[in-house]
Structure 1
Amino acid sequence: MRVTEKGQVTIPKPIRDKLGIVPGSEVEFVAEGAEVHLRKRADPPCLTEEEIAAHFEAMRGTIDTQGMDGKEFIDWLRGPRDDLDAG
């Protein structure tokens, strides 16, 4: 297998199939002594609804909206829009 000028190599289809590597997959090269191994990166674990709810609950009350309601705060964050606020 030859390395291109850009440092790229093509992973043979049987290897891609065996490892489940598809376009967009994350892989990593791991140096072990004089050898380099290709590994498919593990997908990050998905959070459960309960874990997500716990994260949001932990953040509750941590943002100072300076008395603005939700819409006012979002508008303030976004700032003026040239297409709506011309004048």
Structure 2
Amino acid sequence: MYANPIVGNISGWVFGLAVLTVGLLNMFLIHLVPGIVYLLLSLSYFPPANVFLRKKFGFSIPLAVKFILAIIIIMFTLGVSDLGDMID
């Protein structure tokens, strides 16, 4: 899975919390629907969600998919969403 599981877990928690924060800000400041989408996307980064997916369904989200999704989330948040306009 990861070269160093501790680094993978810490980075998963950090980025998951960052996306969760963006989701909560979107829910309260912009609109409910994008906030819920961000909240659902943040679940894919938390290590307990990976364990749950592996136990229940027999698979987990690969690191490459998480990395690509992270780039898309960052680009969308800073470039397209209304939340980026509120920062300016």
Range into which the TM-score falls when normalised by the shorter chain: under 0.3
Higher Rg: 1
Q: Return the structure number with greater strand share.
A: 1
TM norm structure 2: 0.22
TM norm structure 1: 0.22
Structure having greater relative contact order (Cα 8 Å, sep ≥ 6): 2
